[in-house]
Amino acid sequence: MAYDAFVARFAERYKKWVAHKILYLLMVIRCLFLYRLPKAKVIFDEQSDEDFYYTINVGIARYSGGGMQLVPHADPTDGLLALMLARRLTKLGVLLNTYRFYNGTLHRHPKIDIFQTKHIKVTSDEFIGLEADGEWLGTTPVKFSVLPQALKILIP
């Protein structure tokens, strides 16, 4: 949610760019300077966290589009959702920490928290987009929960 969805929505308007990796990277950087952090409320495990978020990621598997590890603590066999909350990061901070999206060390950044939970609810008075693997899905409010044994996953 948040920045990731902003990029996905922006990319819909420039589909020709998305096909070229260098142009896509330039588009992502352009989006970084257009994006404004929204304030959201995230409720999980009877906790409530309200802040301005750069990105909010929920998943059941460690890897996502292009080999990124936005929820590196995810375990598809534990029946839990992995939640990653990235709070107020500067644009320079985002650029300097991009490598963390790929090497699984996001949680080592002081403004990034990770959790595991069964249910998540995200609300906001602002527009916060939602995407899955680059596909625009809509906006908040949104709820996530695990449907036990709904997917069969083969793990080598």
What is the count of structural domains for the chain? Answer: 1
Q: What is the mean pLDDT of residues 111-126?
A: 96
Residue 140 counted as domain residue: yes
Residue 154 counted as domain residue: no
In this prediction, residue 17 carries a pLDDT of 60
Secondary structure in 3-state letters for the chain: CEHHHHHHHHHHHCHHHHCCHHHHHHHHHHHHHHCCCCEEEEEECCEEEEEECCEEEEECCCCEHHHECCCCCCCCCCCCEEEEEECCCCHHHHHHCCCHHHHCCHHHCCCEEEEEECEEEEECCCCCEEEECCEEEEECCEEEECCCCCCCCCCC
Could you tell me the residue range of the domain that residue 62 belongs to?
3-145
In this prediction, residue 18 carries a pLDDT of 63
Please report, for the domain that includes residue 9, its CATH number.
2.60.200.40
Residue 150 counted as domain residue: no
Residue 45 counted as domain residue: yes
Give tens-digit pLDDT for 93-110: 999 998 998 999 999 999
